[in-house]
Amino acid sequence: MVTSVEAEVSTNADTSAPGDSTERRPAPRYSLVVVAIALVVGLLAGYAGGWITPTLTRPGEGSPEVGFARDMSAHHAQAVEMGLIAFRNATDPDTQQIGIDIAAAQQGEIGTMQTWLRFWGVDTSGPQAPMAWMPDGAEAMRDRGNLMPGMATPEQMAALRAATGIQVDLLFIQLMRDHHLGGIHMADAIIDMTDDPEVIKVATTMKNTQQTEIANFNTLEKRLTS
Amino acid sequence: MSISTPGGNQRRPSVVSTGKKAPASKATADGKPATDDKSAASGGKTGTTTKTGPKTGAGRPGGGGKGGKGRKPIAPVKVSQGRAWGPIAMFVAVGVLAAGIIGYGAWAAFQGSKPWEERAADIPGITNFRESDPELVAGSQHTPEPVQYTVLPPVAGPHNASWQNCSGDVYDAPIANEHAVHSLEHGAIWITYRPDLPQDQVARLAERVQGTDKTFMSPFEGLDQPISLQAWGYQLKVDDAGDSRIDDFIGALRINASIEGPTALCAQGITATGNAPRNLGGGQ
């Protein structure tokens, strides 16, 4: 900045006419109209830039954020079902309470992630295989019959639906604990991979909540089996 | 740019110079008041009959940078005619008003766009336990036992597996801290008040709570101020139900303060009052 100003000053000194100082050159005057037009054009350019930038920088097809939002929605959906089964069929009120708590909270998070996908202008499902966004995603699914980490198998879900009495509580705790461990694994991955503050915030909340709930599962399980 | 002006006195206002001394009577020759603009506009064209030289970087007349030495100061054109002050005053007033409105709107938008943490921190008198005691507000284990909370009314910590119903519930008797803290974890605002708070003030508080999910209120024994508001990790004590900070507190922290996500339930909770936590599951 400073150097350019100095350069301009010296240029002015060089090109200014010496000698007859009474002879005056007219200063070219930029009319108000030109200034106004320049101002308007500048404002419009800035506005357009501000308008287009989010579109160009939002996560797109193939990004880890989109993969996470799609896969975690599917992952969460199973937890909602497990939680509602516990709320309805579990024997212990604490199990019922934690079941409905998880169902409501994770259904809400599904809503959040579906809204992201809509705002990012991508479909709610895509061409990628589940977990393709995660570095070790394919590995995590290989020996699980194409199920994401922590997901219960169809047989396990059938057993949970058919269970009665205290078996509902114990099976729910066992399945949901595994489910949470897989969810935390996925949340950790996206927290590492993204720099989107909203995604980081929501994934961090998921991770913290599920870790706390695992501790509460253990306490509850101890009480129910003692 | 004019930033390169060395002397600082090179920039002349564009409204005074006609290049020659114009007689003051000229302005009123045809009975119309000549505005500065007109004379300035004509000055640019008719005032100089010399050749136009090459444009310098700053487009200033020759001799620039020499402090205007050797040049006679040019007397400004005097306009003897009185101005029409009315319209001018009106336009100035409208302009000032418009600038004020736009400025306030921009300021309000900026304030409103602040993250909720900042808006909470801006509330005078608020206590932020997330800063002073991160340990307390981090995690939250369920326990069937009664809990001795160090901060009263409590703002965080271990709590009962069941939350207190917080869908705009107005409790008329004290409730168990162990349930209320679980509600705070879900993002609810808990308004507590001294049992001797006048009835009209209690009613003012109830107006804010009734029908508003993620809020609840109850009397609380032993408060050092008439009213105390709690969110997870935050507390604000006020003397009067009309205090505007109550709305600021609710606005910044309701749901936002949840550490379990924005849709953690307030329904399906404990609706009974009484200081002892209820272990529905028989955990003793």
Taking only residues 139 to 178 of chain A, the set having a beta carbon closer than 8 angstroms to any beta carbon of chain B reads: none
Contact call for A21 and B63, based on CB within 8 A = yes
| Predicted local confidence at residue A147, as pLDDT | 87
Q: Does domain B126-253 have CATH number 3.40.30?
A: yes
**CA–CA distance, A100 with A110 (Å, rounded to integer):** 15
Nearest to A216 among B47, B142, B282 (CB): B142
Taking only residues 209 to 268 of chain B, the set having a beta carbon closer than 8 angstroms to any beta carbon of chain A reads: 259-265, 268
Bridge partners of B218, per DSSP, are B192
The β-bridge relationship of strands B189-193 and B215-219 is parallel
Residue B162, chain A, CB below 8 Å: the answer is yes
Say if residue B108's pLDDT is above 70: yes
C-alpha B231: how far from chain center: 21
**CA–CA distance, B207 with A132 (Å, rounded to integer):** 51
Lowest mean pLDDT among A51-60, A120-129, B65-74: B65-74
Q: Would you say B257 and B234 are in contact if contact means Cβ atoms under 8 Å apart?
A: yes
Average pLDDT of chain B is 80
Residue B183, chain A, CB below 8 Å: the answer is no
Say if residue B164's pLDDT is above 60: yes
Listed in sequence order, the DSSP H helices in chain B are 36-46, 85-112, 116-121, 129-132, 134-137, 177-185, 199-209, 245-253
Which residue of chain B is at minimal alpha-carbon distance from A11?
B57
Say if residue B222's pLDDT is above 90: yes
| Predicted local confidence at residue B20, as pLDDT | 52
Torsion, Cα B107 B110 B111 B114, to 10 degrees, reads: -170
The mean per-residue pLDDT over the stretch B200-219 comes to 96
Residue A57, chain B, CB below 8 Å: the answer is no
Question: Which superfamily, per CATH, for A64-225?
Answer: Ferritin, core subunit, four-helix bundle (1.20.1260.10)
The mean per-residue pLDDT over the stretch A138-147 comes to 75
Which residue of chain B is at minimal alpha-carbon distance from A95?
B281
Residue B69, chain A, CB below 8 Å: the answer is yes
Longest dimension (CA), chain A: 109
Say if residue B278's pLDDT is above 60: yes
Per DSSP, which regions of chain B are E strands?
Answer: 127-128, 167-170, 189-193, 215-219, 227-231, 234-238
Distance (Å) from the C-alpha of residue A209 to the closest C-alpha of chain B?
A: 6
Contact call for B64 and A12, based on CB within 8 A = yes
Q: Closest by alpha carbon to B144, among A226, A166, A219, A100? A: A219
Domain ranges (residues) in chain A: 64-225
| Predicted local confidence at residue B45, as pLDDT | 45
Six-digit token string for B68 = 């205007």
Taking only residues 83 to 112 of chain A, the set having a beta carbon closer than 8 angstroms to any beta carbon of chain B reads: 92-95, 97-98, 100-101, 104-105, 107-109, 111-112
Q: Closest by alpha carbon to B161, among B173, B176, B151? A: B176
Residue A141 belongs to what H/E stretch? helix A137-142
Say if residue B13's pLDDT is above 50: yes
Domain ranges (residues) in chain B: 126-253
| Predicted local confidence at residue A15, as pLDDT | 47
The β-bridge relationship of strands B167-170 and B189-193 is unpaired
